[in-house]
Structure formats: C-alpha cells, structure tokens
Chains A and B, each alone.
Chain A
Amino acid sequence: MSFAEVFEKYPNRRYVMYGGKGGLGKTTFSAATAYYLAKKGKRVLVFSVDPQASLSDIFERDIFGQGNIEIMPNLFAREVDADRRIQDYQEEIRQKILSMYGMKKIPEEIESYIKASSAEPAMEESAIFDAVVDIVVKGDFDYYIYDLVPLGHALYYLSMAAVYDAWLDKITGLREQMREYDQAIATMKREDGTEEDEIYNELMYIKDRIGASSKIMTDTDKTAFFFVLTPEEMTVVDTEKAAKLFAKYNVPLAGYVVNRVIDRNLLKENIPAYLKNRIEMQAGALDLIDNTFGTSVLSRVPEFDSEIKGLDTIRDLAEVMFEEKFS
C-alpha cells in the first residue's frame, strides 16, 4: 500500500501521528502530510506541544504560542506553549479559590502547594495531553496532525493514563460512599436533600479528560500512527521494540516510512569509498526493514540534497511521499 492509498481507504482516520526516535524526520513528514492533505482540499491543523518544537523552523515562521496560524490555504499550524498553559491554569485555580471563598489573598500553604505543583515531572505531560484534548475536541478541522514529542513521552503518558484511570475509579468509589453517609445523616437529622458534590463532578470531569486524551492515540477508527525510521540496523531494532510497546497500548499502527535513503544508482558512478560503504550498509538495513515490517512500509524517501525547510521543499517531499505532482 502507498501513503495516498492509506488516506483514501481510511477517510475516518483524522488523527495522524508520526512517531520515532528524535531527529529522524517526524516534523518533516508531519509537514509534508499536512501539505498533501491541504492540497487535496482538506482543512488541516498540524500541531506540536514540544517545547523545542520545530514547526516554526520548518514553516520558517515564528508561531510559538500564537494559536492556529494559516500557513497556506487549508493548512494551519500551531505550537502550544506548555509552560504558559501551566501558568494560566494555576492562575485559574487561584482565581477560583479567591472567588469561591471571597478571599483577598491565597493562604500561604495553599499558595506554596500550587507553586510546587509546577515542579512535578508529571505536570508537563498531563498539561500537554490536556492541551491536545482541547485542540482536538473543537473539531473544526478535517485532519489533525500531531507532531509528537519523542516516543518515551507518549508511552509514559499512555501507561500513566491507565494507572490514573484505575485510581480514579477507586477514589470515586470513596466519594460515593461519603455521599451515602451524607444522605444517611440528612435522613437522621430529618433535613432535606443533600447538596450536589462538586468534588465528585470534578472527578468525573478528570476521568473524561484522561480517557479522551488516551483515546486520541488509541482510537482504531480515527487514529493513524506512522513510524519514521532510517535505514540503520540499530534504528530498525529500536523501532520494532517501540512498535511492540505501542501495540500493547492499542495504538493503531498504520505503517512505516523510511527516511534518508541514499540513491543506489550512485554506485555506478565514481563515488568516494565512504559513500559506497554507506550505501552498502543501507542496503543491508533495507533488507532487514522489508523482512521485519514487510508491506507495512509505505514509502522510502531519499536523502535530499538540502534541508527540508519552507513550503517549496515541503512540496518536493510530499511529491515523493504521495507519488503525485503538486502545482
């Protein structure tokens, strides 16, 4: 199957993700896919939550923390500023406390708790995945292309989500038990019904959000997850491992794309030994890739003679990936 066929055959797969080790070209392929789909008349948002995001670089425009920016007709890009999002969120909590209790100032110990929370390692992941839910639930684009942070984060989050979910069930149970006590006390004291439990509602909201964010990565109908790899033995082995892990968390793997393949025809020319050796090495790795991933390999993309940067080179790449000419 080719890339174009995957998109034609599964029009419902609206969440597109490229995963792989750092520096293999996830952002590049995200941009090229966005370009292709936009040219096909789809409204596309390509977004990233990585603090070292490179969408700004590849589109040659500073879009960091500025919302959805139109790059060309139908193609929008966005880089989420996770730090600012955390700060805004903490401020929102402070305001809520102040207005709920008519306070002028947040009590010392509460304030220090809020401040300390941003130092927690899980804070950023949670904030990032929560931001993704916000972007995706709006649903105002045909396609969402998620330029993932390196693999570890996504896996870490997915396993975290599973643990939190079980944990939330437990404390929700405790909350329900507390509610039964409230009702019993009210009956004994012959008071009218009890007030609604705000905390219970919050727990339900949290459960929904965590569910929604892991669903974006694991929805077999709507998600297409592609792996990027290069023809090097170590990368192939790593990718195979990662693919197995992702499969364990039910991430629907849609295919593999091989990047930076050096043209074999160069061997016929008078080239330095260094290049010859690299081509031979790649040939071995490419065989390994074919044996390991078989027909799931959707495309082999050559090593370009310049960096993919700006819409012109993105178009060149999209033409190779999707085997089609764009004007």
Chain B
Amino acid sequence: MADKENEKKKKKSGGVVGFFRDFTYGMATHGMARHALKTRSSMEHLFILITMGDMLGIPILPPYYSLRLLPHVVPQITTWKRRMLREKDFVESMY
C-alpha cells in the first residue's frame, strides 16, 4: 500500500514535466475534483441513510440483507451519523 502511494507520488511530482502537469491540474481541475469528491461523499451518506436508516430510527431495507452491507460501511458510520445529526433537518443535508 505504502509503496503504491510512493510510486504515485513519484509519477506525479517528477521533473519539469511533472511540475507543469501538477501546476495545470491545480489551476484547472483541482476545484472540480474537490467538488466532485464532496458530491461523492454526500452520495455515500445518502446511501448509508437509505440502507442503514434504522440507526437513526428510519427502517427501510430488511435487516437481514442490510447486515450484509454493514461491514463495508463501518468506517463511514461515525462521520455519517455526525453529519446527519448535526444538520437542523437531516433531510436538507442529503444534497
């Protein structure tokens, strides 16, 4: 995992070409990527809401099958709960 990261870094930040590539990325697409990431994480939270809603008192998927999904969302549960409950009205927070 760490090796992979290093390789990625090397690829990205090597030499003059690398510098310009990073520079143009920062200028042109970084904002877009950030926005996309934000939308993506909202969707993730929406997804957890409709599958694990029980945790906030909204039962939707039969628990037998939603349990299958549970292991995959464990790391996101805490941030999801915080985000959903932080908003005055969590329905607003979906988008």
Once the chains bind, are B55 and A113 in contact (CB under 8 Å)? Answer: yes
Q: Which residues of B contact A61 (CB under 8 A)?
A: none
Q: Which residues of A contact B12 (CB under 8 A)?
A: 190
Once the chains bind, are A100 and B43 in contact (CB under 8 Å)? Answer: no
* CB within 8 Å for A205 and B68 given contacts A109-B77, A181-B39, A191-B8: yes
Q: Which residues of A contact B62 (CB under 8 A)?
A: 120, 122-123, 125-126, 160, 164
Once the chains bind, are A120 and B63 in contact (CB under 8 Å)? Answer: yes
Partner of A188, one of B29, B43, B46, B60: B29
Q: Which residues of B contact A125 (CB under 8 A)?
A: 62
Kindly state the separation between the CA atoms of A191 and B64 in the bound complex, as whole angstroms. Answer: 37
Q: How many A-B residue pairs have CB under 8 A?
A: 110
Question: Does B81 sit within 8 A of A, measured CB to CB?
Answer: yes
Question: Does B88 sit within 8 A of A, measured CB to CB?
Answer: no
Kindly state the separation between the CA atoms of A97 and B37 in the bound complex, as whole angstroms. Answer: 26
Partner of B43, one of A116, A174, A205: A174
Q: Is the interface of B mostly helix, strand, loop or mixed?
A: helix
Contact count band on A: 35 or more
Instruction: Tally B residues with Cβ within 8 Å of A.
Output: 40
Partner of B50, one of A97, A171, A206: A171
Once the chains bind, are B54 and A206 in contact (CB under 8 Å)? Answer: no
Once the chains bind, are B67 and A117 in contact (CB under 8 Å)? Answer: yes
Once the chains bind, are A107 and B67 in contact (CB under 8 Å)? Answer: no
8 interchain residue pairs of minimum CB distance: A126-B64, A117-B63, A188-B33, A181-B40, A122-B62, A120-B63, A96-B71, A188-B29
Given contacts A113-B52, A181-B36, 14 further A-B contacts (CB under 8 A): A100-B71, A100-B74, A109-B81, A120-B54, A122-B62, A123-B64, A126-B63, A130-B64, A164-B65, A167-B61, A181-B40, A181-B43, A190-B12, A205-B68
Chain B interface (Cβ < 8 Å from any Cβ of A): 8, 12, 21, 25, 29, 32-33, 36-37, 39-40, 43-44, 46-47, 50-52, 54-55, 59-75, 77-78, 81
